[in-house]
Amino acid sequence: MNEGETEKFQYPEELFLTEGRQRLEVKFNEYVGRLADPKFRDSYRDTLCKIAIVRALVENGRANKQQVKKSFATNYGYPAAEVFDQAWRVIARYVLRGGEGNRGGTGLPEVED
């Protein structure tokens, strides 16, 4: 998607993990590792948001956007709306479309069942 274009996909307020739990667990660990890496310092809040969303999915099999945002606010303070919303869209694309539409980043890891 180019700058100025709008994506037609509507992101749900709730995500359900029906498959790919192991891939998201590996992704969760990758995000946690980024917190200690200075090259990711500029995206610290984004990474924290992604961790909160993926944690809810892995632990509960579902994530409600408003509940995750509220929990995040309790632990870390209120995230900037655009940062949290972008993190939600990235994780939603992983869950709903295997990451299709995400630009850059490391993608979902391949894991053996």
What is the C-alpha to C-alpha distance for residues 103 and 101, in angstroms, rounded to an integer? 6
Per-residue pLDDT averaged across 19-43, rounded?
92
- Read off the pLDDT band of 77 (50, 70, 90): confident
Using DSSP, state whether 93 is helix, strand or coil.
helix
Other beta carbons within 10 angstroms of residue 94's beta carbon come to 26
Other beta carbons within 10 angstroms of residue 19's beta carbon come to 9
Using DSSP, state whether 52 is helix, strand or coil.
helix
Which tens digit of pLDDT belongs to each residue from 83-109?
999 999 999 999 998 888 888 888 888
Other beta carbons within 10 angstroms of residue 1's beta carbon come to 11
The whole model's pTM is what? 0.86
Which tens digit of pLDDT belongs to each residue from 11-23?
999 999 988 899 9
pLDDT at 5: 39
